[in-house]
Amino acid sequence: MLSVRVELNINDITQAVRQQISDAISQTAMQGMASWINSIQKAKLSPYDKAEYSASINMTKLSDFKAELFSDYRFAKEIETGRPARDLKKNLHTSQRTRVAKSGPHAGQRYLLIPFRHNTSGNTALAQAMPKPIYLHAKALSLSHVTGMGTRLSGSGAQLAQRQYQWGTSLPAGLAPKLKTHHTTDIYAGMKRFNTSAGQGKSSAYLTFRVMGEWQSNKWIIPPQPGLFIAKELSEQLQTILDEALSGIA
């Protein structure tokens, strides 16, 4: 039998386009990392979640034709599919900063002092900015100072370093409305001004302190949160981007 073969050298073609395909997958994955982080930063998440979740985004190349984006942040799956209600008071049993009330109606019970930072008007880099009227009152407060360091026993029995303060004046309650009707007071009540100046620069930090006590049965509970499905939406977007990138490879 006489025959003439028409044969396609698959190895030559694969070698010619392999690098182009591999590069397209790598570029799509890198674009996906940036998009994932950008979505996290735009999402309704706490500053802590945004920082930790964003820092956890990574990529690994599994083969020339496969890349995987992943996050090992412990709350990533909850953020993706939905978070159950959380009782923050559970931290009273694990935190080294826990205190135990020595006297009064809650003697013997655990509590934490929770600081909340408030930014100056127009500045939202580290926390929510104060309204201008509140800031005018706050910057007139006399300064609170750290005067030294001491020690105290934590609720777990550990010996902890503790700052010692000379307290300045505080903002009174009632300068702003309560954020929610069940709140005890407004978020600016009791605000302190601390000197954070360095060198020639003058600056202050504004903090309020709230008590989280195990006797507060109906407080410090975060309600359930719906899933944001950031990774699901990203997966759909990246498949489209990859398909477009591969369509141009001969």
14 vs 222: CA distance, rounded Å: 54
Rg (CA), the chain: 28
39 pLDDT higher than 90: yes
Residue the block writes with tokens 């880099």: 125
Average pLDDT, the chain: 86
Q: Where are the domains of the chain?
A: 10-84+225-247, 86-222
1 pLDDT higher than 90: no
What is the percentage of the chain residues whose pLDDT exceeds 70? 90
| Those residues with Cβ within 8 angstroms of residue 26's Cβ, 6 or more apart along the chain or in another chain | 61, 67
By DSSP bridging, strand 192-195 and strand 143-153 are: parallel
